């Protein structure tokens, strides 16, 4: 898989600079863009038909995109804008929401 500048521009035009690679449809389209230069037969539909394991495949696509942007250099860390783990953020919001709920008595007093 190799993301050319044209493939990167296509992905960015469709999904911005951070596509949701945990969405199978988006992942198949992004991967197809990265495979197009050397494997044009690997269309989004063909990738969906193959159904590779989602998380390992998403990691490989992400690594290929990072290589296209940064090469062998380390990815620079943004000091102020470090993205949090989506699952942890979701759990945190859920816990906060549950803690804000008022307690409702199970048995009403007479």
The residue extents of the domains of the chain are 5-76
Torsion of CA 2, 41, 30, 53, to 10 degrees: -100
Cα dist from 79 to 5, 33, 65, 76, 86, whole Å: 27, 31, 21, 9, 18
pLDDT in tens, 7-65: 999 999 999 988 999 999 999 999 999 999 999 999 999 999 999 999 999 999 999 99
Q: Who wins on pLDDT, 87 or 30?
A: 30
In this predicted structure, the answer to whether residue 98 has a pLDDT above a threshold of 80 is no
In this predicted structure, the answer to whether residue 108 has a pLDDT above a threshold of 80 is no
């Amino acid at each position: 898989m190799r993301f050319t500048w044209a493939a990167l521009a296509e992905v960015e035009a469709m999904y911005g600079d951070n596509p949701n690679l945990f969405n199978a449809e988006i992942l198949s389209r992004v991967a197809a863009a990265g495979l197009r230069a050397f494997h044009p037969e690997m269309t989004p539909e063909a990738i969906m038909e193959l159904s590779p394991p989602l998380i390992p495949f998403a990691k490989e696509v992400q690594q290929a995109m990072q290589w296209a942007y940064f090469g062998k250099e380390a990815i620079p860390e943004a000091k102020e804008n470090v993205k949090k783990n989506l699952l942890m953020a979701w759990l945190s919001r859920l816990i906060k929401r549950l803690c804000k709920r008022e307690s409702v008595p199970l048995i009403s007093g007479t």
